[in-house]
Structure 1
């Protein structure tokens, strides 16, 4: 009896609670560290450096010139095509179609994640561009010039956001590896075309990747779209999508 009381007392101690919490939530904490904190820390470093010196980093120009040295008519056509495909406006029909499907299936949690992640990415990009006012590279005459501000790259942010949304929605299915592979190639191809066309510094691309990655993963940790099952349209999944999780209901009750 005494042993039971001692064990119960220990389980209620602050250190024991903290240990149990860390054990139970270590995956979320690791994802928070790698997927949110580190990308946003890199973005903060890039932003601070460019704020102090608009010229950016010593590796920006050499990378631009190295990529430009490979220019030829075939790559020109490919780069312009990829730039068009990677436009933020091009992602709207794709995300819109997914949103309609989620709306018809009453998958409110997934729909909320899609809208929050995509709209938030646009707002972050526009705000950062207006605050930083970084001009685009002017090393050569681009065949597809851009006239807005450069930092961070909207194309880079759009590619990461789109692939992250698709990956979260396919995480519990057999499509996950295919989305990850094709999505990674898409992200790299979009980044290459922006550098090839001379309309972005590499640091613009890196900053766009980091802030979009931190934002989409951070939002996923709050909304938890992966807590739903994507394999079937049974009542259990619909119930998950249309009701609050226990911890969410508890927070509302406490407030």
Structure 2
């Protein structure tokens, strides 16, 4: 009986983990994103957007403007894109084809989600002050927030079974927060834009990992 119980526990535990991951990592983030997107669609404002932006703007300094204008580019072209290319090459070198499939599908899908949502909702960016690094396209959700969060969550999932996972979690979390802060400091996004970007990226990346398990090892075909 004890051996049967142990067998059942071993069989159920992964399923429970998958259910919890589905709830916390996919459903909750998408619900939050859906609520934010619905309010944007109905052109309702968020009470916290302007006060947070004004509070952050009070810390602005000319020298800091220049530094943040460069720093924010790490969120996409100067940071996430080169790091993604290195990750892809590393996965190819190590012949982790399933992980490569997960990583590519996640990144491409995140980019499509971002562009599609921006074109659908047409949310105008804030104009509370003249930004030192202005943006011309729509603001919801934040592309920098989505790119940084997608990359970090994907990297956490890929490294979860290694000794590097907590290092990736800590450094990655700091990176995501810093990139989000730069978008607010520059006045090119509302806090709700950044929050929406984080939520949809988290839900998307975790959801893809449940469909494409990056830790599955492809079986070699015997001849």
TM-score (norm 2): 0.90
Partner Cα separation in structure 2 for residue 243 and residue 195 of structure 1: 49
- CA positional deviation for 1:136: 0.3
> What SS does the aligned partner of 2:100 have?
helix
Q: In structure 1, what is the equivalent of residue 161 of structure 2?
A: 172
Question: Where does 1:17-166 land on structure 2 (aligned, <5 Å)?
Answer: 25-53=15-43, 56-88=45-77, 90-166=79-155
RMSD: 2.1
C-alpha change, 1:243 and 1:159, in structure 2 (3 Å) is farther
Deviation string for 1:151-171 (max 9, x for gaps)? 000000011011112111211
**TM-score, L = length of structure 1:** 0.79
In the alignment, structure 1 segments of 5+ residues that lack a partner are 1-16, 229-239, 245-255
**Alpha carbons of 1:242 and 1:80: their partners in 2 closer, same or farther (altered >3 Å)?**
farther
Residues 83-107 of structure 1 deviation map (CA, whole Å, 9 limit, x = unaligned): 1111256422221222122123221
Partner of 1:234: none
1:196 pairs with one of 185, 194, 197? 185
Segments of structure 2 that go 5 or more residues without pairing to the other structure are 1-7
Q: How far apart are 1:74 and its partner, in Å?
A: 3.4
* Aligned-partner Cα distance in 1 for 2:87–2:14: 33
Runs of 4+ in 1 over 4 A off after TM superposition: 19-24
Deviations along 1:43-63, one digit per CA (max 9) or x if unpaired, are 000000111115x20110000
Greater RCO (CA < 8 Å, at least 6 residues apart): 2
Look up the match of 2:208.
219
In the aligned structure 2, how far is the partner of 1:186 from the partner of 1:242?
A: 36
